[in-house]
Structure formats: C-alpha cells, structure tokens
Copies of this chain bind each other. A is one copy, B any other.
Amino acid sequence: MKKIDIFKKLRSSGLRPTKQRVEIAKFLFERDKTFHFTVESLDKLLAKRTTSKFALATIYNTVHAFKKAGHLSEVEVRGKKTYFDTNITNHHHFYDSETCELIDIDANDVVIQKIPKAPNGKKIKNVEVFINLKN
C-alpha cells in the first residue's frame, strides 16, 4: 500500500494523516497476511522497525481510532490483554493458550446449524466462535 493510499484511507475515515498514524498504518496494513497484535507488542515492533518514537498513549489512541474507523477489529481472549486483528471480515479464531497466539478461521469454515433465539427484545449482533487449543 502506497503512502498516498494510506493518506486516503485515513482521510476517508476522518482521521488526520499525522506522521504517527501514517507510520503505524503503513506498518499494519502493508502486509498480505492477517496480523494479530497487542498494543504492547505493536509498541515493541515499532520501536525496532522505525526510528521515530511513539508514546504508548499514541499507540492506544491510534489503534482505537483505526478500530472505530473499521480498519482493525478487536478480539478479546482469556487473559488480560486485548488483541487487535487486521482481518476485519467476519471470522472466528483458534486460540492457543500455550503460546498466547490467535489464528484466524475463515467464516466459511465454521457452520452453525442451530442457534437459540435471542432473548425478548434483543437481537443477535454477531456470533463469535473461539476454538481453544491444547497440545
């Protein structure tokens, strides 16, 4: 993804393309495969790859802004950390608690045959399937 596209992506979602956002966006979105990360891991990776430095709060702000704009999804797993996922399509996850690793599962690879009705007055927003792994 070219710099100009990053600019577009940010601007079209109402985010000013600041130096920090552009750098973070380039790092996150210029890749073919899905990328899972926590704020902490992203911070470390950015520190390695770039010369600029980022306040931790900036990474939190940016990642949440990207999420709000629909460029990232958030995945909550057992444990204290929040993971983010560059795969924003509807999909599911394997979770390997040994390695604390998330692995995407395509939505088509999980077929649910039967599901209960939502309680009165409520609707189903989405269904998340977590497959926990062991060795």
Contacts and interface: CB of A to CB of B under 8 A. Distances in A.
Interface stretch (A53-61, A63-71, A116-124): A116-124
How many monomers of this protein are in the complex? 2
Interface of A: 74, 76-80, 94, 96, 103, 105-106, 109-116, 118-119, 121-135
Contacts of A79: 76
Contacts of A132: 124-128
B131 A127 contact: yes
Interface of A is mostly: strand
A135 B109 contact: no
A118 B74 CA distance: 22
14 contacts: A94-B116, A94-B118, A109-B116, A110-B114, A110-B115, A110-B116, A111-B114, A116-B131, A119-B133, A122-B135, A123-B134, A123-B135, A124-B131, A128-B131
